[in-house]
Chains A and B, each alone.
Chain A
Amino acid sequence: MNFLNLGALWGLLFLAVPILLLFLLSRKTLVLPWAAYEWMRDSIVNHRREFEITDLLKLISKLLLLLALTLFCARPFLNTRGQGGNLILALDVSPSMNSRLESGTRLERAKSIAAEVIDRHEGAVSLFTYGSKLDPIIGSFTTDKGLLKAELSRIRGAAGYNGAAQLIEQVRALPLFAEASRVMLLGDFQTCWYGESGGIARALDTLGSRFPMVWVQVDPRAAPDNVAITDLVMTPEGAFGGRPAFFECLLRNGLSVATGDRILTVSVDRHIQQRQIIRLKGGENRRLAFSTTFTAPGWHTLKLELDNDALLEDNVHYAAVNVPPPLNVVAVVPATHGGAYPADLYVKAALGSVLPDASLNYRSVSPLEFETLQLNSAHLVILFGLALMPGSPLAAQVETFTKRGGGVLAFLPAIQADEALAAGVRSTLVPESTLDPQHLAGGWGEFFLAPELKAESVRFKNFATLSGISPGEVRLVSTAGAVAAVRTNGLGRIAVVGFVPAPAQSSLPFNPNFVQLLLRMVWETRNWPALYHDRGIPSGRTDERAGDSLLPDIKPDRAYSLLDEKGVSRALTVEGVGGEKRLAMPLDLPAGLYSIREDGVERLQFGHNLDTGDSLLEPVTARALEQARDKGLTYTDAGSLGRLVSRRDFGWLTIGLLLAALLFEAYAHFLRKHR
C-alpha cells in the first residue's frame, strides 16, 4: 500500500494520544475519602470485568477514529507495480478498435481510460499508438497532462495490425525504454493478435526480468458478435458481358460461438441485386458463392454488405469489375482436313453455348492463313492438332502474338513422340490413360471433384504428357502425367494441352464439365484482370492487389488523381524509379470505391477495403496468458485498472474504520447501559 500524502502518516503519532491520556488519567486520579465504602466495594467486585472491557472498547474506538482520520488525510492506494515513474502508454488503433460498445467504440473507450491513467499517474508519461507498428504521439516522457490529453484526443484509428510479439519487440527497441518503469497497452487483445502464446512469453523475456507490462482490455464483452467479409474472388471462368460471372466471398465468424441469422446484400453498380441469409458456426470460415450478370463490357462496381454487428468496418467489401470487350477468337485448324474440323466445331459450339453472341467472335482459319493474318484485334488463338515446331512460321506468329499480350490455347497433336513442342514445353506420346481427380484440385479440373463424377469417366486414347514445366504451370494431370500447362510468354500466355478435344482421342469432350474446363482455359489465356479490390493498403501483405499496384504503365510526367464515390479528388504522387514506379496512395483512405485518373481520364476503378486481419474480436483466453503472466505481464480490464495506477483512494477503508469505531463505541455503551 502506498500513500499519496505520505506526510500525513505522521498523524499516526496521534494514536498515542488516547493511550497516553488513558495512562495519565489513570495516574491523575481524584483521591476521595469515602464513607459508604462497603457498598462501593461490593459494586466493584460484581462488575470489575465489565469495566475493563468497556474501557478497552472505548480505547479501541478512539484509536480507530484517529486511524481513519489519518488514513483519510494520507490517501492510501494499492499499487502492485509501484507508484509514479515513467510510463509508456500505448493505444491500439487497429481496425478492430472500431468495434462498437454500448457507448462509443473500443478506441474511444481506450482514449477515455488513457485520459484517466494520465490523470492519476504521478510520474511522466509518453504516448504511443500501435496498429501495424508502434508510432510515437509524444515520444518522450512528459508530465504535462494537458499536452498528453490534447494529443490523446487527436488519435484516430488506422489500418493494419501486427502481432503481440512484434509489438513487444518494438517497445523494447524504443530509445526511452531504458528510462521506463512500466509499459501499459490499451487495446482489445483478440485471440488472433497473440499468435502463439509462447512467442509472447519469449518476447516479454526481452524486456528484462519480470518487467511490468500491463495490458488493459478495453472491451468488457466476452464475445462481441462479429462476422467479417474477409475476401472476394472471381471463379476461373472469368467475366464476360451478358454472361453470369461467378464470385465467391469469404465470410468469417470471429467467435467460437455460432451466429444468428445474418443478411448478406450484394449490390452491383449501386443497385441491390440479391440478399442471402447466412448462419455461421463458431469460428467458421465459409466461401459463399454468388453470381451476377454484367450486361456490358467496362467498369462495374460490386459491394457486399453484412447487416450490423459489433464491428461495422469489416461488414462491407468493395470491388470494381472490369468486364472485357467481346472475345475475338481465331481458331487455326489443320489444312489436311477438308471441310469442318470436329474439334474446332466442338470448341466453337461449346463456347457459343456459354457466351452470348455479342461476347464472342469466332473465326476459323488454316495455318497458312494464320501465318499471314493480322492479329491486332484478336484476343485468343486456338490451335488444333498443330505442332509448334521452333522456327516454323506458325510458331513465330504465335510467339509474336503472345509476347504482345495475346492468348494462345494449343491443343497439341498426339501423333508422334517428341514431335510436339510449344513454348519450350516438350511432349511425350501416351497410348491410353485416365484422369486422376486427386491431381486436379487447384487447377482447371476442380469440378472433377464433384461427387457425381468418377475418375474413370474421363479417358484418353492417344495423348501427350508434358515435360519441361514447373509444378506451378501444370493445370491438368492424368495418371501418366501433366496434360495441360499454362506458361507466360512476354505479356501474353500460352496454354499447351496434350490432347485434341475430339471423340477419337478423348472422352473428355463428352463430359458435361468440359465446357467449364474450356472456359477456364480461355479465361486464363485471355489474361484479363477483371477484379480490382484490395484489403488494406499498409498491411504489407504480398498476396493482395492494392490500389497502388493495379495500374500498369505509370508515367512520371502524367498527373494522377484519386476520385472517391462522392467526387472528392486528391492528387497522387508517383514513387519509385525505372520500371518500379508506383502511385503513393494515402494511408488514411477510408473503405469505398475509387477511381484513378490519369490527366483527368479514368484509368481504372478499384474497391478499397480495410484490413480484416484482426477482426476476430474474441478476447484472449486466460489459458493463452498463463505463460506471459509469469514473465511480468499483467492482463486486466478497465474496471481493475485502479489498482495499477496511483491515486486509487481507499475511501472504503476510512469508512470501514469509522464504522468499526462506531460499533465499538455502541457496544461499550450497550455494556454500560444494560449490565
Chain B
Amino acid sequence: MERPRQLLKYLNPDAIAHIAAVGFKPLERVEGSFVGNHRSPFHGFAIEFAGHRQYVPGDDLRHLDWKVFFKSGRYYTKQYELETNFLAHILVDVSSSMTFAHKHGRKLDYAAFMAVALASAVTAQGDQVAATLFANEIVTLLPPSGSEDAAINLSRALAEAPVKDRTAVGRVLTHLAEQIGRRKVVFVISDFFGDVDATFDGIQRLLYGKNEVILLHVLDPLELDFNYPGRVELVELEGAGRLRLEGRNIRQSYNALFGKYLDDFVTRSRKLNVDCIRCVTSANFGVTIAKYLNTRVLTQGGRP
C-alpha cells in the first residue's frame, strides 16, 4: 500500500499551474499516436484543407472532389493537414552528482519537481509523457502515457529511484535516440557533469531523428560561486577523491574554471540549436520553466 505522501512527493500544484497556464508547444512537427493539437508531418483527413492529389485505386471515395471531376473529368482526392499530439520524453539524471545539496536542497529533488511539473503540464494539454530515469544507464523507464497518472507515476518513480554512482548522459541519450523514434520532444534534466563531448554526441543523435531537445541544466548556487570561506573537505560524489582546502583561497580559481565550462556548454548548445536552461536550485523552478516557456511563445520559434 503506497503512502499518498510518497506518491505526491514531487507534485507542486503552484508550479504546475504556472507551467500549464503557458503550455508547451513544440516548435517542429511532431509524430503522435493520437489526434491532437500539434502539427504532424503526415497528411490526413481533417478540417484543415491542404490540397489535391490524383486519385489512385484504394483511396477512400469519400474524399473525392466531385466538383473538380465535373469541371475537368479527372478524379482528384482532397487532402487535409494531419494534427496530432506529441510525446514528451522526460529524462532525469539520478546519478550521485545530483544528490549534492548545500543550502537549497538536493539537485535531484529540484530536478524531480521540474520533471513532474512538466509531465503534469504536458498531460494536461492532452499530450503524452514518457519518462526515463538514468545515471550511467537507464535506471527506470516509464512508458508513454497521456493520463494524469503519468505525473504521479513519475513522482513515485523519482522518489523510489536508486541513486547510481556516475553520470553518462551521452551514452543514455544515444541509446534512447534509437528507441524513441522520430519527432519527439526530449527534456533532459541533469547537471551534465561528465563527458561533455559524449553528451553532445548523444544530443546530436537525438537531433538526427528530428527530435526537439531541451536541456535543463540543474546547478546549486555553491557550484556556480564557491562562496564558502572556511576550511572544507570535499568528497567526490561520483568517485573516491577527497580534497582539503581553504574555501576563500580556492574560490576565484574554481569560479573561473567552472565558468569556463558553463560558457562552453552554452556555446555548444547554441551551435546545435538546442535550448539550454540553467536552473539554479535557489530559484523557484516553476517560475524558471514558465519564464522559459513564455519566451518560447513570444519568440515564436526563436531560441530563448
A residues in contact (CB < 8 Å) with B: 25-26, 28-44, 46-47, 50-51, 54-55, 672
Chain B residues whose CB sits within 8 angstroms of the CB of A33 once the complex forms: 99-100, 234-237
Chain A residues whose CB sits within 8 angstroms of the CB of B98 once the complex forms: 35
A29 and B238 contact, CB distance less than 8 A: no
Please give the distance in Å from A542's CB to the nearest CB on chain B.
89
Chain B residues whose CB sits within 8 angstroms of the CB of A43 once the complex forms: 250, 253-254, 256-257
B223 and A35 contact, CB distance less than 8 A: yes
A29 and B99 contact, CB distance less than 8 A: no
Interface status of B193 (Cβ within 8 A of chain A): yes
Interface status of B191 (Cβ within 8 A of chain A): yes
Interface status of B107 (Cβ within 8 A of chain A): yes
Contact residue range for chain B? 35 or more
Write the B225-253 contact mask toward A (1 if CB under 8 angstroms, else 0). 01010111111111101011110111011
Interface status of B102 (Cβ within 8 A of chain A): yes
Chain B residues whose CB sits within 8 angstroms of the CB of A40 once the complex forms: 226, 234, 243, 245, 250, 254
In whole angstroms, what is the CA distance A101 to B98 when docked?
Answer: 88
Q: Besides A32-B228, A40-B243, 9 other CB < 8 A contacts?
A: A30-B228, A30-B231, A30-B233, A35-B237, A36-B223, A44-B243, A51-B249, A55-B249, A672-B249
* Interchain CB contact (< 8 A) of A47 among B220, B230, B234, B250: B250
A-B contact pairs, 13 of them (CB 8 A): A25-B230, A26-B244, A31-B233, A33-B99, A33-B100, A35-B100, A36-B258, A37-B243, A39-B254, A39-B258, A51-B245, A51-B246, A672-B248
B residues in contact (CB < 8 Å) with A: 96-100, 102, 107, 191, 193, 220, 223, 226, 228, 230-239, 241, 243-246, 248-250, 252-254, 256-258, 261
Chain A residues whose CB sits within 8 angstroms of the CB of B234 once the complex forms: 32-34, 37, 40
B246 and A55 contact, CB distance less than 8 A: yes
Q: In the complex, what residue of chain B is closest to A30 when comparing beta carbons?
A: B232
SS of B interface (majority): mixed
A39 and B237 contact, CB distance less than 8 A: no
Q: In the complex, what residue of chain A is closest to B167 when comparing beta carbons?
A: A35
B243 and A30 contact, CB distance less than 8 A: no
A32 and B250 contact, CB distance less than 8 A: no
B243 and A41 contact, CB distance less than 8 A: yes
A37 and B246 contact, CB distance less than 8 A: no
Q: In the complex, what residue of chain A is closest to B220 when comparing beta carbons?
A: A35
Please give the distance in Å from B243's CB to the nearest CB on chain A.
6
Please give the distance in Å from B109's CB to the nearest CB on chain A.
14
- A28, A29, A37, A46: residue with the most chain B Cβ atoms closer than 10 Å: A37
4 nearest A-B residue pairs (beta carbon): A35-B97, A34-B234, A35-B100, A43-B253
B241 and A41 contact, CB distance less than 8 A: yes
Chain A residues whose CB sits within 8 angstroms of the CB of B102 once the complex forms: 32
In whole angstroms, what is the CA distance A672 to B252 when docked?
Answer: 9
In whole angstroms, what is the CA distance A661 to B228 when docked?
Answer: 25
- A38, A51, A55: residue with the most chain B Cβ atoms closer than 10 Å: A38
Known: A46-B253, A55-B246. A38 touches B193 (CB 8 A): yes
Q: In the complex, what residue of chain A is closest to B234 when comparing beta carbons?
A: A34
Please give the distance in Å from B26's CB to the nearest CB on chain A.
31
B100 and A34 contact, CB distance less than 8 A: yes
B99 and A47 contact, CB distance less than 8 A: no
Chain A residues whose CB sits within 8 angstroms of the CB of B96 once the complex forms: 35
Q: In the complex, what residue of chain A is closest to B194 when comparing beta carbons?
A: A38
- A31, A34, A47: residue with the most chain B Cβ atoms closer than 10 Å: A34
A34 and B237 contact, CB distance less than 8 A: yes
B238 and A35 contact, CB distance less than 8 A: yes
Chain A residues whose CB sits within 8 angstroms of the CB of B249 once the complex forms: 47, 50-51, 54-55, 672
Q: In the complex, what residue of chain A is closest to B260 when comparing beta carbons?
A: A39
In whole angstroms, what is the CA distance A51 to B226 when docked?
Answer: 16
A37 and B258 contact, CB distance less than 8 A: no
B253 and A36 contact, CB distance less than 8 A: no
In whole angstroms, what is the CA distance A466 to B2 when docked?
Answer: 159
A34 and B236 contact, CB distance less than 8 A: yes
In whole angstroms, what is the CA distance A583 to B241 when docked?
Answer: 110
In whole angstroms, what is the CA distance A37 to B248 when docked?
Answer: 17
